[in-house]
Amino acid sequence: MSNLELIGATLGLISVWLTVRQNIWCWPTGLVMVALYSVIFFRARLYADAGLQAVYFALQIYGWYEWMRGGKDRGRLEVTQITLRLGVWLAVVAALATSLMGYGLATRTDAALPYWDSLATVLSLIAQWMLARKLIENWLVWITVDLLSIGIYMAKALYPTMALYAAFLVLAVLGWVEWRKSLRNLQPA
C-alpha cells in the first residue's frame, strides 16, 4: 500500500460517483486518477493495466467532449441503449483482443496474470468507450470488470485497489439503476 495508491483510489471513487450522477467533472477527475494508476500498475508488473491507463487518458478526453457536444445538435449527450449489432461486434472484439493480448503477455513478458489481466483490460476499454457514448450497458460490462479486478488485485496484494474495485462494483450497480431511471425519463410515454 502506498500513498499514491490511496490517492488514486480516492480519486477513482470520486470520479465514478460523479459518473453515476452524470456530472461532467467525472472526466477531469478521471484524467488525474488514470495518470496515477499508470505508475501503480507498472510497479506491480500488471503491464496490460498500466498500458490501459494511457488509453483511458485519451478516452477520458473523448468522453468529456462527447458528454458536452456529442448529443443532438452538438448538445448534451443523453443515455441510450446498445444495438444488437454493436453488442455482437463488441463481443467479438473482446474475445479476439483478449486472446491476442493474453498470448503476447504470456509469451513475451513476465506478466503476473496475463490472460485475466488482458480480459479485464479489454473489457475495461469497451466499457469506457460505451460510457463515453452514454450507452447504459456500460454498467453491466463494468460490473464484470470489477468482479475480475477484485480477484486480480487480491492475488497481487493490492488491497487498497481491491477495496476500490469492490466500491466500484457497488457504484456500477448504482449506476445501472440510476441510468435506467434516466433512460426511462427520456422515452416517450
DSSP state letters, 86-152: HHHHHHHHHHHHHHHHHHHHHHHS--SSHHHHHHHHHHHHHHHHHHHTTBTTHHHHHHHHHHHHHHH
Domain that holds residue 169: 3-186
Average pLDDT, the chain: 91
Per-residue pLDDT band at 66 (split at 50, 70, 90): very high
Please give the pLDDT value at position 189. Answer: 54
Among 114, 121, 113, residue whose Cα is nearest residue 144: 121
Three-class secondary structure of residue 62 per DSSP: helix
Tell me the pTM: 0.86
In the chain, the number of structural domains is 1
Question: pLDDT category, 72, cuts 50, 70, 90?
Answer: confident
Question: With 90 as the cut, is the pLDDT of residue 9 above it?
Answer: no
Q: How far apart are CA 187 and CA 157, in angstroms?
A: 45
pLDDT for 101: 94
Q: What is the mean pLDDT of residues 102-131?
A: 94
Q: What's the pLDDT score for residue 159?
A: 87
